[in-house]
Structure 1
């Protein structure tokens, strides 16, 4: 079965009006069309320009004159497959290009990928793969060629099963208030377009833990895309997410090494010049490096990356003020007998273990001895700093934390000696204020810039009561980004919601949030987890932030249309099951306009009919559009509260 866009059908209709001039039977003579276009054939061009769709998409106004983008229109005819079964003008050629032309057409070269000029709906579920070769074959829609189809795809969707979760339980809701949190079940690309008008430029932080595209089945969602498809998948979502981002906000992309380099190249292109910039990249230690040294595991990566981008080219990273403890400053001690003497650089250095001295004053300069903490007090440019780095720093790990070294005649002041202390307050697990190591710690850590909260909570997989293995980030890790980039009551958006860690943390530290998730576990893991947060669960960061419960959120589902039919077809077990689905499809579904329903033959095998029903479904009509809400055939499936909620959400934007 051939699926053709509206533009393709209209162009063919115009060409057929010339009789056999451009067709040999049903086969298009593309070379003849191109020849006449290049020759500016007046009748052909005038017929094309009289078409509203072509006029809208291929005509621009310059100095009051209308100009036909002839070269762009001719490009469509350069690709044979486009006129058979593809929406994308990259169908026949994939490779290195420059300026949109392939390497055999020019001298300069850049890295390119197919489909980048298209829209990919790309569902996250694995339902398709569970039925062997019954893949629904999600289509690529070219931004120009299939503009009408894309407009329909991106139209606002109807919300169904709307309810509010709060300390008072679960209740139906008929309006969306300005301070409400929102959770949406449905395809995240279409969900983003549905909230675009209400939340344009409102999100202060967009944090997304994207599918890593590892080509494995270790995750409960689809994690195996062709790379060019995956890049298209991320690009489509980034472009609409940018429209929701506050001018002073940032988007954070969590990614592993598998696609890191390709993702950064693409994002640098999207956020370049006036469109924003790459702010920085955080390196995240996600597992202990020693796991590679045990000999029983394959050598593996231990680092993930968080790419930070802003839509403002002038964005500056926020400053962090760290409250220093008294142990990090100057204090007085009373020394007992030294435990040993070391000869370091010609100096007799006395060593005092923690049991050989006592603190007599916690802050200020000594009335007797002047003692200085190592961290925050030693500058490597002076003699004290150079001596510490060259000789004492090497002793870290050989002596207990808090050991004091009395070094005579430093030469950088008039005191006869100076006291140095090995760092206190713990450094074994990298657990510092908001996860950031001090400069001294860096010198003896394997990674110079990392966040590591994995060791603080040994139950990350069960954090928030519900287990979500291989797909959950620690709450304290997400808290770092939210506190770094937002303030109280700011809006945080996560449209790869997963187990709802971002939303749980946002609720606990008083941020507003939006979450979008397509997978069905939203109702067995994500939402139940947030219910537990409302009840006051004490996992994750709860004790650290003194969380006592409270908060609320509105839950809504994109009203399934053909998405539901695909699920029903795949879950059918008998021919009778398929017949029931088909009868409902004929009544309220949207079928592909090229489908020949006369080919439906119930005497064929169950699997053949299953395949055929999937093929005739219009993959562009996955959910009901809001423009259909007043249709009787649609509204009868909605409650009065749901209809009121939709109209309030889309029409009363002030909330």
Structure 2
């Protein structure tokens, strides 16, 4: 079976397609690359600006190591599995990202993550040996309990500030995950990362390297404790940060107006549409006649009605020019042609207690049938963004929660609202208690919009003696999945005509697992007998006891299909096949007979994919199907 995509190989292929003259006999010729780019485009000498740390090269090795894992469906832990458009994945997130990469490359509109802040007491995963196999690594550190829960004393490493690689370990953990995240984003995608002062400086440099400095969109302080925490010697911390990086084609959808902002639209026109008056003058320091003379011209007002015109007359007798508060000459926000075009909708009014007049224009609450939105500010604050609000929201669903600091639901709603439209996909691969999932489910229902998420979380253990442990929770992944279930239940209970349950409410649950197919190992073959034994073992590609549905979802991912792709089981001449995309792709995973060939080919799919074991060691049967597919112009793949 194919492994997950190799990012390094993909980038070499992209570079070769872009600059083929830079490659000779398949190898990169650095001198030829320099010639192709032009000497002035390259930095000469050994000194340059760069982010580096102990272990960076090894972090790239981790990135470039393919995954042999897969995702195993968990129907019993899902809600409406067959129809759900949301996905929850339990497993180590770097492996999960590698497994998802082929199927979701360039398809994700929004990524939000809340990684460990590296406070000095965090425990997180980072590799410490790079020459051993993943299996040996997992075995050495004894990472799994009997129940399959990742143990802190094994897989997790505490990264203390006394460590000589305190920042390096954190950066090595983040780099490969961010690189794959970049690969998943669409050309109009955006990523938000929560962080604090411990690593915000390093994270910004790292994201500049991964996404490019031109994609930096903002470093947003989020005030989540206005009183401040007693956690630092000199300053009481009141905020965290959101780093925002946007791909070149991203366009913000804005934020919904607050009730206070909506209340400012007090006027109504003849059609009953609400609007407010705004000053046509610009007020900025650079908005002067001297600097912008084309925006300084007169508008004439009827003093009795406030109606406006461009030309002076007996009726329009008051000349109004843009004047700043200090009585210096200013400018209008619109040019002459736009003011002339809209002059009938303008209003002139004398400033109370002064001889000066102002010109105002209408701003409507709705435009083209859509409510006006506001541009996100560079600082976010409000009681709905507080840590207390976040904890209250989680406890409302899971009362046993204690000593847990989730993100505020409204923070995630703000991120989703400005980033996603109908049918867009988001990923949160540090999903924790799944605040992101709750935010999207509730926002979808409130706005009658179908957005979808993939949440991934480690099966990190919960202390058995904690309130959550005593309530039966064994892992953070279980906590997050339970939260999603309870949000869906609450929404179904409250749904009515005013707040319809948008789409099919549910999610598919998956578990990161070893592949269902055998992996060829050539490193232990020294004799013809060992080779024969290996070949005999590979008479069937699938492992003994592999479930059909498990193999199906592994193959969907291997062939670039999303986890939510609708699957249609088909009965064909007494056998069963699985169809996707309107029967354009068929999977044969169960016993195949000669009677199935003609009706299968008659379906006229583009491709048929079968595992070798279904032919039950009957090579003529497999050959016959292959020939029939060739004659019909159908691609046939046997694994």
Please, what TM-score do these two structures have when normalized by structure 2? 0.50
TM-score by length of 1: 0.49
